[in-house]
């Protein structure tokens, strides 16, 4: 309780001091010359950090669109000499223009090593510097009005966009999980640009109850969550790659009960609708199948064979 | 809304007031919207109301939202809130001063609903002592239970950039999860002994904090960070009545754990050959401490001893990772990357052996699992000309596992791709990737002969580490035949073949096509249609031990083959053992996949009668077709979606229609209109020396909304109404610290 109070007090103090910090005025307090012709473009950035850094000469405008001296002198008759955002520029050239200012951003520390940089993704592919006002947001699955980040990422990652709409999914469409909660689109050194070092560390950052260490572990779980789960969406419960018991039996096909239900007096409902056994279908098919008994599939703290077989 | 969140909002508001005199020196313009509305959902006919409400709060009631933006030359502030007071609320405050600091304070909650109106013979479901008198087949006497939990994440961040390029950052958050979830446990030690569904409590709390400091400049970046995370579970065991063993049994839930990590990152740019060198090192430690149960429940309520050779379990896992990457541009148009990753996991948990009567003479011991992964690779992309770019890459992953079945595997992967935009308004990309995995299977010679039970082991391989050949193609075509019109098609094929497999997964294949059409005129509307067809198929092989005669379908009967393919959850083509020699007791299976599906559906009805919600969809492979029309324009949007999923005999269809209309008023700039002093287009007030003028603070509703959502299968409807009349002016009158009161001028934007 004391910790919570201290945390809130510290937060309140930090924010209060933050407001009082003598920040330097970065804006020059004048309308950029570009506004005379490109009023709409200027309107779109004047309330943004770019606008705050602009000046009468259009410093912020020219940092992206190149030297406008002749363009202004000719009253727009001469095109911009080196518009870094021109359509003819390659994605890396456009990214270079942004990086000329933003390279010092901690989020961009690994931009050059990331997959987006290597796959012709320019900053402007995702960031709309002169974007339109935020209008009504389509939200078919959600009551949220926030822009859905997955809509943006989904324009390229079509497979992922469709996966998020499957019956089992993270609350992405509902606006409670964003792509950037797990990935750093600005570059990372980890596989698939996840934020943490490994996939499991990434999953455990939210699912802390799964991280163990457990008395009895499940090696596949400890090595890679993705062996069984697909994070973006699945037709199977619990974001599983495949339906149980099939998924389990792709590895556990030894004797005894994992496969016994294929045999006599086990499980099957015959074509005539009658069970193959007078005692009814096997409970190894019911509901969660293997997980009916092996519920502690991520690891168990139960002693002896109860834990060894992940059944308590 | 909880007390904690009221306090949080109080802090947010308090800071706004504190900010007043400072902001006043530098005209601070605040704009935004307030939304008021209501929601009413009829889910009475929903197939699964819990699924409809899975992550949302659609209960009847009011909706409150706000979206404020404040800007000045020095400071910025964003305050957003939605669904305030509901189970899925979200409140977020961000702000800062350009080049000096930034901060964030947020609280986000969701409710994860699993089951509404379930029935259970157990009393106190969701508690830690679950009791019942069994058997009890009279469901009229069962207890109702809803299965759901709330998850609330509340946190803050502060980053100081005033001494740029040096920076300092603190993050902290607390995640509280409260509710329950569905679990289970076996009755006895054999599947024939039955099992029980048990509702487990999930009273979890996770507190995270991190500190990071570093140097971030254009040419280099260094940082050091420390993170700590503590997970606490209020209920580490659940006692429940076991009807088979006839006594009180115990299920163990996760112990408390503590995680800490230090990380160091570094990036140096502008190196020779246009290179950037990036390095990362992390070291983390995960610990959990728990007790070892001294007894377990046995048959007829007997208490069996476990006799562990340790007093307690001290879980401890250490991970170390090191990564280095060198990205270069050795010549014009050529981008290369060299990288190396190393991950060491060292499980130092207590090694425990149990030898009590519960073990029935067989000692049971845990197997702390460690592994090392070494990964290196190189890729290169060459821009032949502005329209064409080719890329190649090679990657090696070497894993050493301390595992009983595999101790080493090596993955070799290479790819080649071509991207072109030679044709006007057409962009295409083709990529081929090949992966080969060679593993060392330790059980390949297990067992002395067919009479030895260990002989089976040589035929069983886990597919996650087994020898593998993987081939995949990916092709993308983006086409813009007219202005504002975009057509995109993407195709993916992927095939995994597991070599030297006798039992288990043999191969899996994936065929997917995605298509979308979008028309978007920035001045009018955007219209998008997209759809996809997916076909995923898993093939595996299983053995069957049984008597020589079986009722029903005969082994290997070709007439049953189609059913087999349909049913086995679509994909499994073969259940019998067809190669690798005949094993003792082996029989080919009859494979009645279709019947399994029928069985699943029948059981679904049975589960309904018992109060269980339907479980997994009966499909291992699936075909998914989706068509979606989506119209968005500044005044609103309309979306129609049709989804059809085919799961081996089971079809799901869903049609949804949703629309919303609204009008966003243009951003007004009274400073410009009045010809006042311009300051980045924002109105500027003359600062009065020695006095803090009253700051500009008004809220104007810029958005009017009236809309609706309608869904069928699961059915439900929601009506949203906000600002149904003319424009609403909402005013906020903060107290001026220097004057003690606030003045208001109705027709002005200033107080």
Strands (E) across B589-727 are located at: 623-633, 636-647, 650-664, 678-679, 682-683, 698-700, 703-712, 716-722
pLDDT of residue B575: 21
The three-state secondary structure class of B194 is coil
Q: Is the model's pTM score more than 0.90? A: no
Backbone dihedral angles phi then psi of residue B240, each to the nearest 5 degrees: -145, 155
Contact A269 B488 (CB under 8 A): no
Q: Is residue B284 over pLDDT 70?
A: yes
Taking the Cβ of residue B503 and every Cβ of chain A, the question of whether any pair is shorter than 8 Å is answered with yes
Residue B427, Cβ density class (10 Å: 0-12 exposed, 13-18 middle, ≥19 buried): middle
pLDDT band per the 50, 70, 90 thresholds, residue B573: very low
pLDDT of residue A12: 60
Quote the minimal CA–CA distance from A208 to chain B in Å. 6
Q: Is residue B598 over pLDDT 50?
A: no
Q: Using CA atoms, how far apart are residues A66 and A85, in angstroms rounded to an integer?
A: 9
Chains A and B form CB pairs within 8 A to the count of 545
Q: Is residue B750 over pLDDT 80?
A: no
| Contact assessment for residue B83 and residue B62, using Cβ atoms and an 8 Å cutoff | no
Q: Is residue B468 over pLDDT 90?
A: yes
Nearest C-alpha neighbor of B479 from the set B490, B495, B493, B468: B490
| Contact assessment for residue B665 and residue B634, using Cβ atoms and an 8 Å cutoff | no
- The DSSP 8-state label assigned to residue B225 in this structure reads E
Nearest C-alpha neighbor of B596 from the set A183, A226, A36, A249: A249
| CB < 8 Å to A289, chain B | 616
Pick the residue with more confidence: A17 or A233?
A233
Low-confidence winner among B46-50, B501-505, B733-737 (lowest mean pLDDT):
B733-737
To the nearest 10°, the Cα dihedral for B603, B607, B608, B610?
A: 140
pLDDT of residue B643: 46
| Contact assessment for residue A173 and residue A148, using Cβ atoms and an 8 Å cutoff | yes
Taking the Cβ of residue A104 and every Cβ of chain B, the question of whether any pair is shorter than 8 Å is answered with yes
Nearest C-alpha neighbor of B566 from the set B490, B618, B630: B618
- The percent of residues in chain A predicted with pLDDT above 90, rounded, is 27
Mean pLDDT of B324-352: 94
Q: Using CA atoms, how far apart are residues A229 and A207, in angstroms rounded to an integer?
A: 13
Low-confidence winner among A240-244, B81-85, B582-586, B721-725 (lowest mean pLDDT):
B582-586
Residues B672-693: tens digit of each pLDDT: 222 222 222 222 222 222 222 2
Mean pLDDT of B101-112: 95
Q: Is residue B278 over pLDDT 70?
A: yes
Q: Is residue B632 over pLDDT 60?
A: no
pLDDT of residue B397: 97
Rg over CA atoms, chain A: 28
- The percent of residues in chain B predicted with pLDDT above 70, rounded, is 66
Contact B58 A143 (CB under 8 A): yes
Find which of A277, A287, A296 to mutate to test the B interface (most B CBs within 10 Å of its CB).
Answer: A287
| Contact assessment for residue B350 and residue B310, using Cβ atoms and an 8 Å cutoff | yes
Quote the minimal CA–CA distance from B334 to chain A in Å. 11
> What does the block give as tokens for B65?
């939202």
Taking the Cβ of residue A180 and every Cβ of chain B, the question of whether any pair is shorter than 8 Å is answered with no
Which positions 311-330 of B are in contact with A (Cβ < 8 Å)? 313, 315-317, 319, 321, 323, 325, 327
Residues B49-84: tens digit of each pLDDT: 787 788 888 788 887 888 888 888 788 899 999 889
Angle ∠(B326,B331,B337) on CA atoms, nearest 5? 20
Q: Is residue B535 over pLDDT 60?
A: yes
Pick the residue with more confidence: B151 or B332?
B151
Low-confidence winner among A134-143, B489-498, B515-524 (lowest mean pLDDT):
A134-143
Which positions 218-257 of A are in contact with B (Cβ < 8 Å)? 219-220, 222-224, 227, 235-237, 240, 242-244, 246, 249-251, 253-255, 257
Q: Using CA atoms, how far apart are residues A285 and A289, in angstroms rounded to an integer?
A: 5
Q: Is residue A270 over pLDDT 80?
A: no
Write the DSSP assignment of B301-348 as a string of letters.
G-EEE--BSSSEEEEEEEEEEEEEEEEEEEETTEEEEEEEEEEEEEE-
First-to-final CA distance of chain B: 32
| CB < 8 Å to B233, chain A | 209
Average of per-residue pLDDT values in chain B:
72
Q: Is residue A176 over pLDDT 60?
A: yes
Find which of B232, B616, B631, B721 to mutate to test the A interface (most A CBs within 10 Å of its CB).
Answer: B616
- Count of CB atoms situated within 10 Å of the CB of B606: 15
Q: Is residue B709 over pLDDT 50?
A: no
Q: Is residue B427 over pLDDT 80?
A: yes
pLDDT band per the 50, 70, 90 thresholds, residue B324: very high
Inter-CA distances, B599 with A90, A276, B113, B563, B596, Å: 57, 11, 26, 14, 5
Q: Using CA atoms, how far apart are residues A245 and B504, in angstroms rounded to an integer?
A: 12
Q: Using CA atoms, how far apart are residues B487 and B477, in angstroms rounded to an integer?
A: 8
Q: Using CA atoms, how far apart are residues B87 and B405, in angstroms rounded to an integer?
A: 47
Find which of A97, A241, A306, A307 to mutate to test the B interface (most B CBs within 10 Å of its CB).
Answer: A306
The three-state secondary structure class of A15 is helix
Low-confidence winner among A17-21, B179-183, B206-210, B502-506 (lowest mean pLDDT):
A17-21
> What does the block give as tokens for A135?
């209008």
Please report where in the chains the tokens 């160091």 appear, as a residue: B264
Contact A135 B620 (CB under 8 A): no
pLDDT of residue B654: 43
> What does the block give as tokens for A276?
């193959």
Residues B127-185: tens digit of each pLDDT: 999 999 888 888 888 888 899 999 999 999 999 998 989 999 999 999 999 999 988 88
Residue B744, Cβ density class (10 Å: 0-12 exposed, 13-18 middle, ≥19 buried): exposed
pLDDT of residue B747: 23
Write the DSSP assignment of A154-182 as a string of letters.
HTT-HHHHHHTTSSB--TTTTTSS-HHHH
Low-confidence winner among A97-106, A159-168, B270-279, B661-670 (lowest mean pLDDT):
B661-670
First-to-final CA distance of chain A: 33
Of the partner residues B158, B335, B464, the one whose CB lies closest to the CB of residue A118: B335
> What does the block give as tokens for B189?
């030690």
Q: Using CA atoms, how far apart are residues B520 and B526, in angstroms rounded to an integer?
A: 4
pLDDT of residue B251: 95
pLDDT of residue B676: 25
Pick the residue with more confidence: A63 or B716?
A63
- The percent of residues in chain B predicted with pLDDT above 90, rounded, is 41
pLDDT of residue B525: 62
Backbone dihedral angles phi then psi of residue B560, each to the nearest 5 degrees: -95, -5
Low-confidence winner among A50-64, B334-348, B517-531 (lowest mean pLDDT):
B517-531
Q: Using CA atoms, how far apart are residues A267 and B602, in angstroms rounded to an integer?
A: 13
> What does the block give as tokens for B149?
């939990």
pLDDT of residue A283: 56
Pick the residue with more confidence: B87 or A46?
B87
Mean pLDDT of B502-517: 84
pLDDT band per the 50, 70, 90 thresholds, residue B591: very low
Q: Element (H or E) spanning B712, and its range?
A: strand B703-712
Q: What is the predicted ipTM? A: 0.86
Residue B274, Cβ density class (10 Å: 0-12 exposed, 13-18 middle, ≥19 buried): middle
pLDDT of residue B629: 55
Nearest C-alpha neighbor of B252 from the set A182, A127, A312, A139: A312
Pick the residue with more confidence: A151 or B468?
B468
Q: Is residue B624 over pLDDT 60?
A: no
Pick the residue with more confidence: A120 or B27?
A120
Contact A311 B100 (CB under 8 A): no
- Count of CB atoms situated within 10 Å of the CB of B519: 17
Nearest C-alpha neighbor of A153 from the set A162, A140, A144: A162
Quote the minimal CA–CA distance from A195 to chain B in Å. 12
Q: Using CA atoms, how far apart are residues B398 and B407, in angstroms rounded to an integer?
A: 11
């Amino acid at each position: 309780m004391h910790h919570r109070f201290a945390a809130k007090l510290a937060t309140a103090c930090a924010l209060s001091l933050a407001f009082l910090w003598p920040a330097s005025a970065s804006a020059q307090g004048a309308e950029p010359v570009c506004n005379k012709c490109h009023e709409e473009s200027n309107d779109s950035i004047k309330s943004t950090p770019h606008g705050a850094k602009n000046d009468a000469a259009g410093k912020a405008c020219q940092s992206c669109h190149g030297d406008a001296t002749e363009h202004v002198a000719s009253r727009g008759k001469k095109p911009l000499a080196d518009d870094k955002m021109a359509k003819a520029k390659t994605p890396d050239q456009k990214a270079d223009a942004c990086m000329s200012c933003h390279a010092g951003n901690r989020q961009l520390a690994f931009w050059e090593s990331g997959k987006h940089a290597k796959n012709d993704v320019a900053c402007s592919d995702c960031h709309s510097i002169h974007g339109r006002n935020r209008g009504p947001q389509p939200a078919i699955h959600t009551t949220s009005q926030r822009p859905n980040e997955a809509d943006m990422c989904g324009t390229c990652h079509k497979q992922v966009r469709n996966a998020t709409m499957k019956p089992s999914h993270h609350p992405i469409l509902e606006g409670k999980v964003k792509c950037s909660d797990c990935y750093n689109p600005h570059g990372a050194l980890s596989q698939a640009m996840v934020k943490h070092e490994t996939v499991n560390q990434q999953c455990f950052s939210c699912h802390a109850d799964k991280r163990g260490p457990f008395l009895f572990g499940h090696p596949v779980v400890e090595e890679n969550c993705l062996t069984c789960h697909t994070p973006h969406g699945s037709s199977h419960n619990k974001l599983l790659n495949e339906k149980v018991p099939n998924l389990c039996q792709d590895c556990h096909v030894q004797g005894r009960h994992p496969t016994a239900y294929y045999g006599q007096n086990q499980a099957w409902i015959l074509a005539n609708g009658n069970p193959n056994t007078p005692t009814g279908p096997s409970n190894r098919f019911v509901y969660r199948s293997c997980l009916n008994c092996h519920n502690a599939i991520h690891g168990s703290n139960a002693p002896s064979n109860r834990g060894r077989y992940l059944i308590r | 809304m909880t007390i904690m969140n009221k306090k949080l909002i109080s802090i947010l508001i308090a800071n706004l007031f504190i900010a007043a005199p400072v902001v006043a020196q530098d005209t601070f313009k605040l704009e935004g919207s307030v939304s008021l509305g209501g929601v009413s959902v009829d889910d009475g006919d929903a197939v699964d109301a819990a699924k409809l409400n899975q992550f949302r709060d659609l209960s009847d009631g009011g909706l409150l939202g706000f979206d404020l933006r404040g800007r000045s030359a020095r400071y910025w502030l964003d305050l957003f809130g939605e669904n305030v007071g509901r189970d899925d609320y979200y409140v977020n405050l961000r702000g800062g001063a350009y080049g000096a600091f930034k901060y964030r304070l947020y609280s986000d909650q969701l409710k994860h609903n699993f089951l509404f109106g379930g029935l259970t013979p157990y009393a106190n479901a969701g508690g830690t002592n679950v009791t019942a008198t069994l058997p009890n087949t009279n469901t009229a006497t069962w207890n109702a239970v809803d299965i759901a939990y709330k998850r609330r994440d509340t946190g803050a961040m502060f980053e100081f950039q005033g001494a740029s390029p040096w920076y300092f950052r603190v993050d902290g958050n607390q995640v509280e999860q409260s509710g329950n979830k569905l679990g289970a446990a076996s009755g006895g030690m054999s599947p024939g002994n039955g099992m029980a569904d048990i509702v487990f409590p999930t009273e979890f709390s996770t507190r995270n904090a991190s500190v990071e400091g570093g140097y971030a400049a254009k040419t280099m970046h260094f940082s050091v960070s420390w993170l700590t995370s503590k997970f606490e579970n209020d209920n580490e065991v659940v006692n429940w009545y076991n009807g088979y063993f006839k006594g009180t049994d115990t299920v163990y839930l996760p112990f408390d754990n503590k995680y800490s990590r230090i990380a160091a990152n570094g990036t140096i740019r502008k190196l020779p050959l246009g290179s950037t060198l990036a390095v990362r090192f992390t070291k983390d430690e995960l610990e959990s401490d728990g007790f070892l149960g001294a007894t377990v429940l046995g048959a007829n309520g007997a208490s069996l001893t476990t006799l562990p050779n340790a007093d307690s379990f001290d879980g401890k896992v250490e991970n170390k990772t090191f990564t280095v990457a060198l990205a270069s541009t050795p010549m014009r148009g050529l981008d290369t990357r060299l990288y190396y990753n190393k991950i060491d996991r060292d499980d130092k948990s207590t090694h425990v052996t149990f030898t009590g009567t519960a073990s029935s003479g067989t000692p049971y011991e845990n197997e702390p699992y460690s592994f090392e992964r070494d990964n290196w690779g190189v890729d290169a992309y060459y821009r032949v000309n502005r329209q064409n770019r080719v890329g190649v890459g090679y990657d090696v992953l070497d894993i050493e596992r301390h595992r009983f079945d595999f101790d080493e595997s090596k993955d070799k992967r290479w790819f080649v791709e071509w991207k072109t935009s030679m044709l006007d308004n057409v962009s295409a990309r083709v990529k081929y990737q090949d992966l080969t995995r060679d593993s060392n299977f330790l059980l390949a010679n297990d067992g002395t002969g067919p009479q030895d039970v260990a002989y089976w082991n040589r035929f069983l391989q886990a597919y996650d580490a087994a020898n593998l050949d993987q081939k995949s193609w990916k092709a993308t075509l983006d086409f813009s035949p007219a202005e504002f019109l975009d057509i995109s098609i993407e195709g993916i094929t992927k095939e995994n073949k597991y070599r030297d497999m006798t039992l288990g997964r043999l191969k899996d294949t994936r065929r997917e096509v995605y298509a979308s059409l979008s028309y978007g005129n920035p001045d009018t509307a955007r219209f998008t249609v997209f759809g996809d067809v997916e076909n995923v198929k898993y093939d595996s092989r299983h053995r069957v031990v049984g008597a020589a005669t079986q009722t029903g379908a005969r082994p290997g009967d070709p007439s049953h083959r189609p059913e087999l393919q349909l049913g086995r959850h679509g994909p499994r083509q073969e259940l019998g053992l067809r190669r690798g020699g005949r094993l003792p007791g082996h029989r080919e299976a009859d494979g009645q996949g279709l019947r399994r599906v029928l069985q699943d559906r029948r059981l679904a009805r049975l589960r309904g009668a018992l109060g269980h919600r339907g479980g997994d969809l009966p499909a291992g492979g699936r075909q998914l077709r989706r068509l979606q029309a989506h119209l968005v324009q500044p005044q609103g949007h309309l979306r129609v979606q049709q989804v059809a999923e085919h799961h081996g005999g089971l079809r799901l269809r869903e049609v949804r229609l949703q629309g919303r209309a609204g009008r966003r008023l243009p951003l007004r700039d009274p400073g410009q209109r009045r010809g006042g002093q311009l300051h980045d287009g924002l109105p500027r007030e003359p600062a009065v020396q020695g006095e803090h003028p009253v700051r500009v603070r008004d809220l104007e509703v810029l958005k009017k909304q009236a809309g609706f959502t309608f869904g069928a299968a699961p059915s439900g409807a929601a009506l949203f109404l906000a600002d149904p009349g003319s424009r609403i002016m909402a005013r906020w009158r903060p107290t001026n610290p220097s004057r003690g009161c606030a003045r208001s001028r109705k027709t002005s934007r200033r107080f």
